[in-house]
Amino acid sequence: MEQLDSTIITTAIPAMAKSLGTEPVRLSLAITSYILSLAVFIPISGWIADRFGSRRVFCAAIIVFTTGSALAGFAPSLPILVVTRVLQGMGGAMLSPVGRLILLRSFPKEELARAMAYVAIPALIGPTVGPVLGGFITTYFNWRWIFYVNIPVGMVGIALALRYTEDFRATAPSRFDLRGFIIVGIGLATLQFGFENIGRHVLPPAAIAASFVAAAVALSLFGWHVRGHPHPVLDLGLFRIRTFRIGVLAGGFCRPGMNSVPFLLPLLFQLGFGLSPLHSGLLTFASAIGSITVRPMSFTLLRLFGFRRLLSPMRSLPRWSWPVSRCSGLARRTG
């Protein structure tokens, strides 16, 4: 449901902008407000699950997410849409982390990679059908229905979670780090605010620079706060683990490119090439087919080559794959 919502909106952006009386590029606020809400509330998801139980929190997250989605469908203006997307983000911030926490505690370590591969397949259905479904709904119905489709999915999700999910809870949860949550929330919010306004030419450069300075001060203060707190809301000590550090930092560089393409391509196809939302969705969903095709093979590939070799550049692959590398280099030289 969360992955469907993140991709179904992209093909409807031009129609949404026309209906709400704004520019299509400004609809990025509806996406970044959701991401901002995720960034602020994800850090507390683990503590809330330990305190109130993973099943209860997971079902509550679905309720909040579905309610925010229904309200977004009724939004009469862009500011109201942004507020409802923030509410969606509050629910979405609990969905993925708590769901992965349930997965982690339900399977032994040797079966975890296989379980993650299987669980990821349903999650890939969202990016696969999202652009096409969003384009179809926008072309033949109304863009507001792209939010209403989450209502029946949410109801089914709650019923299945109550029936099949085990309720994990910490025996003695730590005390909530309220001060750290406020500091890191301010830091992440001002950082996102600065990035959002760089290309809008609405605020003066001094105001944008001030938001980055405030973010740097808040995040630095949080780094100092973590040192003296036994149970911080975000444990920066995890970055001492080399594989975790590399995964997070490398993923941080890759995500902007991965997540900007689904937003920019529908604008190009519809505003630049004059295609309908449905045709735009049919073109953009092709990449998701590749993901859902390769994902079931990921466990086998990891077992054959290992993490390091599978994620490394072409020169570190087995000798039988070198002709592919040479062909790739030839293609780059010849254009």
Domains in the chain, start-ordered, CATH in brackets? 2-174+273-334 (1.20.1250.20)
* pLDDT confidence band for 109 (50 / 70 / 90): confident
Instruction: Report the number of secondary-structure helices (H) and strands (E) in the chain.
Output: 16, 0
Q: Which two tokens stand for residue 2?
A: 């969360």
Residue 235 pLDDT greater than 80, yes or no: yes
Mean pLDDT of 120-138: 74
| Portion of the chain with pLDDT greater than 90, in percent | 7
Q: How far apart are CA 254 and CA 189, in angstroms?
A: 21
pLDDT in tens, 159-188: 988 888 887 777 777 788 888 888 988 888
Mean pLDDT of 43-62: 85
Residue 207 pLDDT greater than 80, yes or no: yes
Nearest residue to 189 via CA among 41, 81, 36, 45: 36
| Whole-number average pLDDT of the chain | 79
Weakest-pLDDT range from 50-59, 217-226, 238-247, 268-277: 268-277
Q: How far apart are CA 79 and CA 22, in angstroms?
A: 11
Q: CA end-to-end span of the chain, whole Å?
A: 40
For residue 217, what pLDDT is reported?
94
Q: How many residues does the chain have?
A: 335
Q: Which two tokens stand for residue 178?
A: 């309220």
Phi-psi region of 241 (alpha: psi -120 to 50; beta: other; left: phi over 0): beta
Nearest residue to 283 via CA among 5, 11, 4: 11
Q: How far apart are CA 55 and CA 66, in angstroms?
A: 17
